[in-house]
């Protein structure tokens, strides 16, 4: 595997990010072969101190979003630290940061300053709300963005306490839109020869992921609400109760609905005027659901899943996370990876979800220990033994 | 200039994941040609329509050109093959196997154009035991574990309200395509990019998988709360709910000052993230004793002043009218020839040098047939014959 070409080989990325959105963005570049240098302050970034420790100072959440990166510890509050960063910037293609807007400028590592050093630099900022607009200066977390983008209002069941999407979808979405923006800018640079500022946020990612919900509101005037597992524009498309728990079925279109009715022994529903089109089924979902569930509760999930598979009706179990990670298909697609870690032995991680025939993503190494690659990186920059020792003694690097 | 100007993408996709993938490429300037059967893709008949034009179709097919092509006729496949020779990227989301049957499988198209980047987005991916199954967002949310971590602690199953496996698969697809373009830049080689709803959803369970691997316990749904930090959840005010993320020690102290509860900041049960997690129920009950006495607006103004991340839980009408959303150009006005004035979501990632934009609404059925076929060298007479034969 290691001698296969990698799609982003030769791309150098400086990763000045913390916690999730920014690290996830840079990790996706690293998986594809970019040389990602994670730059941390002395003491390491905050996520290293998070719960779920594997060994003293080794936090699993940090490892989960920082694999395939090299590690450099640099004190940007010291002028010598900023000077080294600038030397690195001169050799870099991309820089990713997720400070609150304004912090990078105070540290002297903002876009304008660094673009003056390297006009080919692509500088990606991922923040709570973006670099402009009335909320630019506010801190933002996934929870806040899920609430403000409308996503929480459309998740869960009506009338209950607010529910967010269980995974930090605006963090991850912002990381993905960041990667997308960076790679678009890399492509534009082949033509223009120049870098640019890529600016995205958790809030905007949350809105961009609301395509269906915005459409429902704009086209129908109805306010999207939490519907449990149901679809806002299709039916039946939801979880149904079997004798031993729930399973999911998507049998909404006019081709799948009759097949689903047939396997339930409910053929008469197909021509029932309440259920004879998607629009009618959606309108009469409250009537349709109990008719279906009266049948599904009679047998276990496995019975219905086998019947649905036989009939070609999309359906599936509702897995716990352990079950999901243990599923033979997930395993066959390489979604569970293991990497060696010096202190804790082998560490599990999720695989990259994109398979590429010529340049597959590679799991080369686990996340770096603090400053693991400091010396190697500084030597690449041309620093000598004495300089490195001096910086270390002054605690500019570690 | 837009970032992806000059990139031609053939979009043989339906429903959401793959159309969302190509929409993002189109917003950034790629020439995306949506190819539909002569009857149009199913989505055109979706609900939420205006003057007979489906909102869901319009929403995720903007910025694209559109042609119709009957791939069940050899002449239709022939046009597709000529089109592919001019293309950089081909995106499809059939069930694995169907594209090969239609004469547009990877091997066939790569033989015609070795530089082609061929992206396949399916329910489960092109390999593995479930490759042949149909998959929807709901199924992938269930099988990835996302439904198991969403909703009330003891409530019925709830999925993410937005179709996140579809959307993420589209974004991962775009990422794979752009990575493949970098490889092609160096080598002239195209390749197959293969992703799926299930894998995209699993890739979003970073924290949850980690929690399981470390603790051995299955992560549970927590309503609006965070699995590793507190207070970080929706809190009760006198007139509804608002969110607060005061998860580190510094923010927690600021938060306690804002709600005037110095006793909580000094309480050893709440000293440090781990202690706050251990006593989360007690902590939230104590906090809500105070927050429930005043309105959301009261608390949000004070929290903003103190720099503590907090926000309202907006409905979509509120979110889509929010001044910040407007200032960031997240709401775009378009005029569609049939539906009239329509709104669309903007481009969430801002590029300073080559900004993306939503320039045109989704195409009418076969809107660009003549333009595209003329570009391919088909004469007017040939186009008339193709039309008469129902090929276009």
- Angle formed at CA B224 by CA B220 and CA B229, multiple of 5 degrees: 75
Give the pLDDT of residue A72: 98
Give mean pLDDT, residues B34-48.
Answer: 91
* pLDDT value at A99 more than 80: yes
Cβ <8 Å between A148 and B316: no
Q: List active site positions of B.
A: 166
Could you tell me which of B342, B369, B387 has the C-alpha nearest to residue B62? Answer: B342
Per-residue burial over A51-82, b = 16 or more CB atoms within 10 Å of its CB, e = otherwise: bbbbeeebbbbbbbbbbbbbbbbbbbebeebb
pLDDT at A60 over 90: yes
Inter-chain residue contact B48 with A140, CB threshold 8 Å = no
**B31-36 and A197-201 strand pairing:** unpaired
Burial of A391 (0-12, 13-18, 19+ CB in 10 A): buried
Q: How far is CA A206 from the centre of its chain?
A: 12
Alpha helices by DSSP H, listed for chain A, are 21-31, 60-64, 79-90, 103-107, 111-117, 142-148, 169-192, 202-208, 211-220, 256-264, 278-283, 285-296, 301-311, 321-326, 328-332, 374-380, 385-393
Decide: helix, strand or coil at residue B330.
coil
Contact A209, A142 (CB under 8 A): no
For residue B247, list chain A residues with Cβ-Cβ distance below 8 A.
141
- For every residue of A338-364, which 3-state class applies, written as one string? EEEECCCEEEEEECCCCEECCCCCCCC
Residue A158 backbone dihedrals phi, psi, to 5 degrees: -60, 140
Q: Looking at chain B from residue 338 to 377, which residues have their Cβ under 8 Å from any Cβ of chain A? A: 342-343, 345-354, 356
DSSP-assigned beta bridge partners for residue B119 = B91, B193
Measured between alpha carbons, how far is A336 from A349 in angstroms, rounded to an integer?
6
- Asked if A169 lies within 8 A of B185 by C-beta distance, the reply is no
In this prediction, residue B81 carries a pLDDT of: 97
C-alpha Rg value of chain A to the nearest Å: 25
- A151 vs B contacts (CB less than 8 Å): 160-162
pLDDT of residue B48: 86
**Nearest residue on chain B to A198, judged by CA atoms?**
B351
Which of B142, B215, B354 lies at the smallest CB-CB distance from A316?
B142
pLDDT tens string A189-200? 999 999 999 999
Are A223 and B317 contacting, i.e. CB atoms less than 8 angstroms apart? yes
Region B194-213 average pLDDT: 96
- DSSP helix/strand/coil, B184: helix
Residues of A with CB below 8 A from B163's CB?
A: 212
At residue B46 the predicted structure's pLDDT band, cuts being 50, 70 and 90, is: confident
Q: Is there a contact between A208 and B345 if contact means CB atoms under 8 Å apart?
A: yes
Those of residues 146-175 in B touching chain A at CB distance below 8 A are 146-152, 155-164, 167-169, 171-175
How much is the mean pLDDT over chain A? Answer: 95
Chain A closest-CA separation from residue B268 CA (Å): 18
Alpha-carbon Rg for chain B, nearest whole angstrom, is 25
Nearest C-alpha in A relative to B148: A320
* pTM confidence score: 0.96
Confidence at B274, pLDDT banded by 50, 70, 90: confident
Tell me if chain A has a CB within 8 Å of the CB of B308: yes
Average pLDDT over residues A47-73: 92
Q: Which residue has the higher pLDDT, B252 or A233?
A: B252
Q: With a CB-CB cutoff of 8 Å, which residues 211-250 of chain B face chain A?
A: 211-215, 218-219, 221-224, 226, 228, 232-234, 241-243, 245, 247-248
ipTM of this predicted structure = 0.96
Six-digit token string for B133: 């199954």
Q: For residue B147, which of A225, B136, B177 has the smallest C-alpha distance?
A: B136
B233: Cα within 13 Å, side-chain hemisphere? 29
Partner-chain residue, chosen from B149, B171, B312, that has the shortest CB–CB distance to A147: B312
Q: Identify the pLDDT of residue A1.
A: 44
Mean pLDDT score, B139-157: 93
Q: In what order do the strands lie in the sheet with B31-36?
A: A355-356, B191-196, B117-122, B89-92, B8-12, B31-36, B65-68
Q: What does the pLDDT average to over A61-70?
A: 96
> Which candidate from B158, B204, B354 shows the least CB-CB separation from A172?
B204
- Which of these, B250, B304, B247, B296, lies nearest to B273 by C-alpha position? B247
Q: What pLDDT digit, counting tens, does each position of B67-125 carry?
A: 999 999 999 999 999 999 999 999 999 988 899 999 999 999 999 999 999 999 999 99
Pick the more confident residue, B160 or A233: B160
Tell me whether residues B179 and A183 touch, CB distance under 8 A.
yes
* Cα–Cα dist A219/A256, whole Å: 26
Looking at residue A2, what is its pLDDT?
55
Q: Do A203 and B325 touch (CB under 8 A)?
A: yes
Beta bridge partners of B376: none
In the block, tokens 């190819």 appear at: B35
Average pLDDT rounded to a whole number, residues A152-161? 88
Our CA-based measurement puts residue A143 at a distance from the nearest CA of chain B, in whole angstroms, of 7
Instruction: Give mean pLDDT, residues B359-364.
Output: 96
Confidence at B267, pLDDT banded by 50, 70, 90: very high
pLDDT tens string A14-24: 999 999 999 99
Over residues A374-386, mean pLDDT? 97
Q: Give me the numbers of helices (H) and strands (E) for chain A, helices first please.
A: 17, 14
| Percentage of residues in chain A having pLDDT higher than 90 | 91
Compute CA distances A293 → A236, A248, A286, A378, B142, whole Å: 11, 12, 11, 65, 18
Residues of chain A with Cβ-Cβ distance to B128 below 8 Å are 328-329, 332-333
Check CB contact under 8 Å for A153 and B171. no
Closest partner residue to A144 (CB to CB) among B186, B309, B350 is B309
Instruction: Show the DSSP H helices in B69-163 as ranges.
Output: 74-85, 98-101, 106-112, 137-144
Q: Tell whether the model's pLDDT for residue B10 goes beyond 70.
A: yes
Least confident of A271-275, A279-283, B289-293: A279-283
Half-sphere exposure (Cβ direction) of B334: Cα atoms closer than 13 Å? 26
Question: Which whole number is the average pLDDT over B133-137?
Answer: 91
Euclidean distance between CA atoms B303 and B283, whole angstroms:
18
Give the best residue of A103, A124, A163 to mutate against chain B (max B CB count within 10 A).
A163
Nearest in space to A39 (alpha carbons), one of A363, A395, A374, A396: A374
Neighbours of A100 (CB within 10 A): 16
Active site residue ranges of A: 171
């Amino acid at each position: 595997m290691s001698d296969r070409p990698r799609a982003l080989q030769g791309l150098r990325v400086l990763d000045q990010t913390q916690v999730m959105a920014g690290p996830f963005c840079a990790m996706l570049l690293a998986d594809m072969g970019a040389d990602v240098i994670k730059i941390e302050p002395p003491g390491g970034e905050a996520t290293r101190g998070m719960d779920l420790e594997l060994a003293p100072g080794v936090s699993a959440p940090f490892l989960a979003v920082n694999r395939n990166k090299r590690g450099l510890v640099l004190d940007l509050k010291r002028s010598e630290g900023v000077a080294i960063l600038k030397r690195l910037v001169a050799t870099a293609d991309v820089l990713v940061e997720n400070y609150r807007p304004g912090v990078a400028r105070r540290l002297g590592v903002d876009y304008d300053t660094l673009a003056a050093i390297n006009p080919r630099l692509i500088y990606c900022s991922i923040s709570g709300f973006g670099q402009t607009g009335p909320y630019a200066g506010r801190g933002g977390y996934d929870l806040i963005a899920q609430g403000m983008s409308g996503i929480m209002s459309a998740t869960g069941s009506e009338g209950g306490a607010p529910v967010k999407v269980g995974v930090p979808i605006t963090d991850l979405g912002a990381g993905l839109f960041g990667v997308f923006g960076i790679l678009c800018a890399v492509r534009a640079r082949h033509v223009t020869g120049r870098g640019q500022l890529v600016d995205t946020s958790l809030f905007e990612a949350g809105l961009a992921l609301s395509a269906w919900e915005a459409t429902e509101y704009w086209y129908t005037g109805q306010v999207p609400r939490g519907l449990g597992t149901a679809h806002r524009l299709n039916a039946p498309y939801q979880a149904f109760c079997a004798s031993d728990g729930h399973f999911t079925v998507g049998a909404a279109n006019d081709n799948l609905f009759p097949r689903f009715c047939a396997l339930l022994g409910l053929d008469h529903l197909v021509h029932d005027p309440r259920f004879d089109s998607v629009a009618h089924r959606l309108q009469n979902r409250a009537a349709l659901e109990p008719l279906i569930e009266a049948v599904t509760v009679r047998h276990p999930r496995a019975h219905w899943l086998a019947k649905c598979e036989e009939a070609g009706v999309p359906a599936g179990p509702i897995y716990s996370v352990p079950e999901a990670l243990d599923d033979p298909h997930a395993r066959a697609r390489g979604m569970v990876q293991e990497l060696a870690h010096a202190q804790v032995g082998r560490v599990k991680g999720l695989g990259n979800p994109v398979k590429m025939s010529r340049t597959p993503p590679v799991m080369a190494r686990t996340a770096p220990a603090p400053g693991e690659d400091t010396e190697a990186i500084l030597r690449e920059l041309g620093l000598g033994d004495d300089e490195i020792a001096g910086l270390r003694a002054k605690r500019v690097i570690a | 200039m837009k970032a992806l100007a000059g990139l031609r993408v053939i979009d043989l996709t339906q429903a959401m994941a793959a159309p969302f993938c190509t929409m993002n490429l189109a917003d950034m300037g790629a020439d995306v040609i949506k190819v539909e059967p002569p009857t149009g893709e199913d989505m055109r008949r979706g609900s939420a329509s205006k003057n007979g034009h489906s909102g869901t179709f319009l929403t995720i097919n903007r910025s694209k050109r559109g042609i119709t092509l009957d791939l069940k006729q050899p002449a239709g496949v022939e046009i597709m093959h000529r089109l592919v020779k001019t293309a950089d990227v081909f995106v499809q989301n059939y069930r694995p196997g169907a594209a090969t049957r239609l004469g547009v499988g990877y091997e066939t198209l790569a033989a015609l154009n070795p530089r082609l980047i061929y992206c396949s987005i399916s329910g489960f991916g092109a390999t593995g035991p479930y490759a042949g199954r149909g998959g929807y967002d709901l199924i992938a949310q269930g099988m990835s574990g996302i439904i198991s971590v969403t909703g009330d602690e003891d409530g019925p199953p709830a999925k993410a309200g937005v179709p996140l496996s579809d959307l993420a698969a589209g974004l991962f697809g775009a990422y794979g395509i752009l990575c493949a373009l970098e490889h092609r830049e160096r080598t002239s080689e195209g390749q197959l990019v293969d992703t799926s709803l299930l894998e995209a959803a699993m890739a979003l369970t970073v924290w949850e998988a980690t929690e399981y691997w470390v603790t051995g316990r299955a992560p549970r749904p927590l309503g609006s709360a965070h699995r590793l930090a507190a207070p970080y959840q929706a809190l009760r005010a006198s007139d509804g709910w608002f969110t607060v993320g005061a998860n580190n020690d510094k923010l927690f102290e600021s938060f306690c000052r804002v709600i005037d509860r110095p006793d909580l900041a000094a309480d050893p049960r709440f000293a440090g993230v781990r202690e706050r997690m251990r006593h989360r129920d007690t902590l939230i009950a104590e906090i809500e004793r105070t927050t429930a006495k005043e309105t959301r607006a009261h608390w949000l103004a004070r929290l903003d002043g103190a720099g503590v991340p907090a926000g309202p839980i907006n409905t979509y009408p509120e979110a889509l009218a929010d001044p910040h959303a407007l200032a960031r150009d997240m709401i775009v006005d378009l005029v569609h020839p049939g539906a009239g004035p329509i709104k669309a979501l903007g481009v969430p990632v801002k590029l300073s040098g080559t900004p993306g934009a939503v320039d045109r609404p989704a195409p009418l059925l076969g809107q660009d047939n003549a333009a595209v076929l003329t570009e391919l060298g088909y004469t007017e007479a040939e186009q008339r014959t193709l039309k008469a034969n129902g090929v276009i």
